[in-house]
Amino acid sequence: MRIVGLVLAVAAVARAHSFDPTLLDLRERAAGVYDVVWKGPAPHRAGLAPQLTPVFGAACRRVGPLSTPDAEVEGLVVFRIDCGTHGLRGQTIGVAGLERHPTDVLLRIQWTDGTMTTGVLRKGAEELVVPGTGAGAPLGTVLRRYGALGVEHILGGTDHLAFVLGLLLLVRGWRRLVGTISAFTLAHTLTLGLAVLGVVRVPPAPVEAMIAVSIVLVAVEALRPPGTPATLAHRKPWLVAFLFGLLHGLGFAGALADLGLPPDQVPAALLAFNGGVEVGQLAFVAVMLLPILGLRRLPRAVQAVPAYGIGAVAVAWTLERIAAFWS
């Protein structure tokens, strides 16, 4: 009971989808004029690191704050800049202090014609030259950036990893495990692509709640004692993984929608992001296999501890996300 209580306490402060990059978002309102939203690092990531400050080209000047509700949101700084008649095209955008800070900054510029320019600033690449009209990032750059973002998202997505861990606890036998993980991968790849391309549109709040429910259910199935009548999850774990994988793909799509996609290289960015997710997922499975095999040599009561842990956290996430429907 102490273990479960501790898990529930941790859940109160833990956040699923902890992929939370610092964001520098600019929206062109008129020729050379941009609304800027600066979302600094989360407090737990900032620590004692230096303060970060966005820096724009020499032609840009700050012309004051914006009178919008967003300006009242904690953690956001909202203001406007004027970069003259030539605007940001060809100008350098950077973040001062980033060379000594352990975070990435997602840069997103939305132009008046509806197109978008995106980039990632990090230590060693603290500045970016905004491409001119009609110019986009090289294909190799897009693949590297979005591949890295995919890896970061899955390794920071606590709920997705908890579901995969539940599958590892539930499924026995190499063939069944490979088939189950493959079905999960196929399903979330399918819905990620359909959602990003606009074929499928589902409100994010119910999706996030159902992802938490999927973790609860797989944890319950992993806790079934040997000898009890086999359920669908035990008979056909690949089918259950596929069905729930469809939900998790919609969750990935929500994260990718927040990042934005380069309009001229959507397929490449989507492929790279999904590839990064798969690499991170496989790395997690590889790391967890030996501990899981060792756990199965221990008494049944000890084997049940991880399933109780992820189940308890998932219950807390479910309640939190359902409550968010009305917030």
User: Would the pTM of this model clear 0.85, i.e. be above it?
Assistant: no
Rounded to the nearest integer, the mean pLDDT of the chain is 82
Could you report the per-residue pLDDT of 177-229, keeping only the tens digit for each? 999 999 999 999 999 999 888 888 888 889 999 999 999 999 999 999 888 88
| Phi, psi angles (nearest 5°) of residue 35 | -85, 130
- Looking at residue 96, its amino acid is A
Interval 236-254 mean pLDDT? 93
Q: Residue 119 pLDDT > 90, yes or no?
A: no
- Which CATH code for domain 149-326? 1.20.1250
Parse the chain into domains and list their residue ranges. Answer: 22-136, 149-326
| Phi, psi angles (nearest 5°) of residue 54 | -70, 140
The contacts of residue 37 (CB under 8 Å, 6+ apart) are: 23, 24, 25, 26, 70, 76, 77, 78
Q: Using CA atoms, how far apart are residues 100 and 102, in angstroms rounded to an integer?
A: 7
CA neighbours closer than 13 Å in the CB half-sphere of residue 147: 10
Could you report the per-residue pLDDT of 251-277, keeping only the tens digit for each? 888 877 776 777 667 888 889 999 999
The pLDDT value recorded for residue 2 is: 37
